[in-house]
Amino acid sequence: MARAVLSGNEAVALGVKLARVQVVAAYPITPQTTIVEKIAEYVDKGELKARFITVESEHSAMAACIGAAAGGARAFTATSSQGLLYMSEMVFWASGARLPIVMAIVNRSVAPPWSIWCDHNDAFSQRDAGWIQLWAESAQEAMDMVIQAYRVAEDEQVLLPVMVNLDGFLLSHAYEPVDVPKQEVVDRFLPQKTPAPYWIDPSNPKSYGTIAAPDTYMEFRYKMQAAMENAARIIEEVDEEWGKFAGRSYGGLIERYRCDDAEIGVVLVGSWAGDAKEAADELRKKGLKVGVIRLRATRPFPAERLVEAVEGMDAVAVVDRSLSPGLPSVLTAEVKAALYERARRPLIKGFIAGLGGRDVTPLDFAAVVESTLKSLKEGKGGIVWFGLR
């Protein structure tokens, strides 16, 4: 184990190198670019034995990853925002084809108006694509998550692609100390990929992705759901096992911070969990029992873990960095759905916050908790815009 000071993006690139990815296909977009720049450097210096395909678009980046994974290689790409939207057709293709590709999404808001700053609308736009969606809080977790992601994706009970989300700039460009595992440790945790019997092989010809008539199509989709259900278990097993190899794990599908005796919980994804935790610590000094529930996965949605985490809580604040105009908060809706069948469920209040990179501080999270307490007294949840000018 060595300690390095890395940005979130550098940590992802190092994770890709440690995972011995074989084919990388990528197209530049801010704030993702420094990931693939670093990988290009690794490949150029021979530190990573991979083919780097400098494609002409994100659509082609994912298509090349699909070809590579179908051909038996461990494939990686990274993108953000418009790039992910442009790629979307192939995002659905990758999961439908059941290919264990890993993609880093450096979360960035969607234009217009142009904005390069962080929110989560890009990743949530691909919510129903059939990808496992994981969310990192720190550079350390982003690196570990890339390595874990291949273990999950390549598991024969899963065979679904994985998105590793990290917040644009807030995480991608912020430097922090990162413990870097030795290559041998990662090699033992994540053995070299061996082509499975159903991968393209000229000596065993098969056709892939032919037309499925109405009498067979549904079963292909059912199998994706079954694989997601397996993934929920395997994500937890892999994270726990990583703990034995690297000395740290993250709680599996969700991280519970000071939840055991909490009366109020803050539910969110991404790097601002750090700010929420700081707020919880401060509020606890004032006698308010606040906990933070950080979803590490949104697909599969960790409904059971969420039910366990909110046990005993009177109210939950869902802080959503994305917008579904007309709903307006998908994350809040999903938390509500997960808790609906509980006889005793907390009051749930949704907050749309931090869109387009608007800063949300620990003080703001304290305000979120105050607002939720007020709603609790009034007995009325709902969804509000936080920090709207």
Partner 1 sequence: MVTVRELPLEEFWLPGHSACPGCPAALGLRMLGKALNGGFILVVPAGCTTVIQGIYPRTPSRAPLLNIAFAASASAASGLKAALELRGLDAPVVVWAGDGGTVDIGLQALSGAAERNEDILYVCYDNEAYQNTGIQRSGSTPRGAWTTTTPSGKRERRKEAALIVAAHRVPYVATASVAYPLDFVEKVRKAASIKGFKYIHLHAPCPTGWRFPPSKMVEIGRLAVETGAWILYEVENGVFKLTGRSRALLDPSRRRPLEDYLRTQGRFAHLLKPENQEQLEELKKNVNDAWETVKTILERGGKIF
Binding stretches for partner 1 (CB under 8 A): 22-23, 25, 51, 53-57, 59-61, 63-73, 75, 89-90, 93, 195, 200-202, 204-213, 216
Q: How far apart are CA 87 and CA 90, in angstroms?
A: 6
Could you tell me whether strands 2-7 and 175-180 are parallel, antiparallel, or unpaired per DSSP bridges? antiparallel
**132-135 β-sheet, strand order:** 51-53, 23-25, 75-79, 102-107, 162-167, 132-135, 297-299
| Closest to partner 1 by CB, 56 or 156 | 56
CB of 60 to partner 1, least distance (A): 3
Distances in Å between the Cα of 265 and the Cα atoms of 56, 181, 301, 348, 369 are: 45, 33, 18, 10, 8
Q: Which lies closer to partner 1 via its Cβ, residue 29 or residue 118? A: 29
State the minimum distance, in angstroms, from the CB of residue 169 to partner 1.
29
Question: Rounded to the nearest whole angstrom, what is the least distance from the CB of residue 91 to partner 1 in the complex?
Answer: 11
When the beta carbons of 72 and 356 are compared against partner 1, the nearer one is 72
CB-CB contact of 352 with 297 (8 Å) = no
b (16+ CB within 10 A) / e for 128-140:
ebbbbbbbbbbbb
Q: How far is the CB of 199 from partner 1 (least distance, A)?
A: 9
Q: What are residue 167's DSSP bridge partners?
A: 107
Cβ proximity to partner 1: between 177 and 195 the closer is 195
Smallest distance, Å, CB 80 to partner 1? Answer: 19
User: 46 or 205, CB closer to partner 1?
Assistant: 205
The single residue listed with the structure tokens 């056709």 is 207
Calpha distance 85→70 (Å, rounded): 23
Question: CB 64 → partner 1: shortest distance, Å?
Answer: 3
Of residues 212 and 337, the one with the C-beta less far from partner 1: 212
C-alpha angle 255-163-31 in degrees, rounded to nearest 5: 100
Distance CA(384)–CA(47), nearest Å, equals: 49
Nearer to partner 1, 71 or 312 (CB): 71
Q: 104 phi and psi, to 5 degrees?
A: -90, 130
What is the closest distance, in whole angstroms, from the C-beta atom of residue 195 to partner 1 in the complex? 7
